[in-house]
Amino acid sequence: MNYDVIIVGAGPGGIFAAYELMQHKPELKVAVFEAGHALNKRYCPIDGEKVKSCIGCKSCSIMSGFGGAGAFSDGKYNITNDFGGTLYEYIGKKQALELMHYVDKINLAHGGEGTKLYSTAGTRFKTLCIQNDLHLLDAAVRHLGTDINYVVLENIYAYLQDKVDFYFDTPVYSVAVAEGGYQVLCKDANYFCKKCIISAGRIGSKWMETVCRELEIPTKSNRVDIGVRVELPATVFAHLTDELYESKIVYRTKQYGDKVRTFCMNPKGAVVNENTNGIITVNGHSYEDPARQTENTNFALLVSKNFSEPFKDSNGYGESIARLSNMLGGGVIVQRFGDLIRGRRSTPSRMQDAFITPTLNATPGDLSLVLPKRILDGIIEMIYALDKVAPGTANDDTLLYGVEVKFYNMEVEVDERLQTRHPGLYIIGDGSGITHSLSHASASGVHVARDIAGV
């Protein structure tokens, strides 16, 4: 089969590339290959009753399938160059922001209308934070919520399905340079395309390493972020979340000078398992529909680790820490903050005594046996710092789930068109190591589609 363009991966990067190609060049023959299932077949068996924790499905429906890792996400589209990726370093700050606003417009036109756009512009919390040595980053954030995010994906798929060939449950094994384009090899067939866009996301990180090695595309190893997911009564952060929805706050620890930051805040949300290549870590999301909201807010506290020579495997380091928590807890460990600072593990009875109901069924345990001291000290210091702007954060019953790891793909060498050293081969989204978010990944898809369409 011959195509003008083959897109590998149907996450936000791949979807927006396909969408934009069809906007400008509907005559192009485009195929999307996706290792995971179609959207309506995506299903995570964890129901909190019969299946309480990750059973390691062959294809993880949280991470793979139409919608990518974003399908059951909180659908927070952060419109900012301050975090979420470094796309602006390649295409410029103005262009990056314009593309993120464009993506927002498409989402609104496909079911997201009526959702709220929050903004840090002019907020009094910036002053409150700085007075307590905390730094609130600037952003506008569109919160679609897990439910509306799903509707938007359904509508975009409905628009694309007759225009683009979708191959679900079809992992691409390799991409090779061929005369006039690329050969895309799958289990049962070989496909040819003139141009190829790879948008393999975080779950495709190991595969991307192979592709880059085989095609001699230079890469540089990246960082890993390690920490915990904090869960507390929604009222503790309500003054911040009501106005900003998500607040990205950075703190520099006094003890080590390390930066600790809040990440992925989910007001009235739920904590969930995440399975990356068989390693169970923790994440969170929340619904727009009040009927599906909980009484808790969750967010991650993360510390970035960059390693210098001779150590290169930052993801391996994060994986080892996550494996340790999986080994001790059979999955994710949960600990009350009060237990952590008293140097004792949380037990099922201490958890039952707590004045908070956890939204994830995790194993009560001791995070100090898992997290390196420096990282744990930083997290504890940040919790006390946050307690000054959101009193109650450092309460005994605040829950810490571990570990949360943000694996970053190695950064692939691409030019300002996001094209590799091979003409017509583009690497975009989280798989490129350049983006780490829905809005940046989507914007990168629009950028390459316009490049291919010549607009």
Least distance in angstroms from the C-beta of 51 to ligand FAD: 17
By DSSP bridging, strand 2-8 and strand 140-143 are unpaired
Separation CA 413–CA 427 (nearest Å): 9
Shortest CB 132 distance to ligand FAD, Å: 26
Of 267, 269, 331, 429, the residue at the interface with ligand FAD (CB under 6 A) is: 429
Minimum CB distance to ligand FAD smaller for 74 or for 397: 74
Ranges within 266-295 binding ligand FAD (CB under 6 A): 272, 274, 283, 285
Which of 436, 443, 448, 450: binder of ligand FAD (CB under 6 A)? Answer: 436
Binding residue for ligand FAD, selected from 3, 36, 184, 300, defined by CB under 6 A:
36
Which amino acid is residue 337, in one-letter code? Answer: F
Query: Which position among 112, 267, 318, 431 is part of the footprint of ligand FAD (CB under 6 A)?
Result: 431
Q: Minimal distance in Å, beta carbon 445 to ligand FAD?
A: 7
Q: Are 332 and 401 in contact (CB under 8 A)?
A: yes
Binding pattern for the stretch 98-137 against ligand FAD, x by CB under 6 A and - elsewhere: ----------------------------------------
**Of these, 18, 21, 46, 69, which contacts ligand FAD (CB under 6 A)?**
69
Q: What character string, x for contact with ligand FAD (CB under 6 A) and - otherwise, covers 181-220? A: ------------------xxxxxx--x-------------
What is the C-alpha separation between 35 and 428, in angstroms, rounded?
17
Contact 339, 367 (CB under 8 A): no
* Cβ-based nearer residue to ligand FAD, 126 or 143: 143
Which of 6, 72, 38, 8 is closest to 438 using CA atoms?
72
Q: Which residue has the tokens 């003139």?
A: 194
Is residue 229 within the footprint of ligand FAD (CB under 6 A)?
A: no
Binding mask 144-173 for ligand FAD (x = CB under 6 A): ---------------------------xx-
- Taking the complex as a whole, how short is the minimal distance between the CB of residue 339 and ligand FAD, in angstroms? 26
Residue at 67: amino acid letter = G
Whichever of 127 and 210 has its CB closer to ligand FAD, that residue is: 210
Q: What does each C-alpha distance from 410 to 205, 215, 336, 430 come to in angstroms? A: 8, 15, 34, 10
Phi-psi map region of 114: left, alpha, beta (phi>0 left; psi -120 to 50 alpha): left
- Smallest separation, CB 412 to ligand FAD (Å): 12
Please pick, from the candidates 378, 383, 437, 447, the single residue that binds ligand FAD as defined by CB under 6 A: 437
Shortest distance in whole angstroms from residue 343 CB to ligand FAD:
31
The residue among 68 and 181 lying less far from ligand FAD, judged by its C-beta, is 68
For ligand FAD, the binding residues (CB under 6 A) are 8-14, 33-36, 62-65, 68-70, 73-76, 78, 84, 171-172, 199-204, 207, 264, 272, 274, 283, 285, 429-431, 436-439, 441
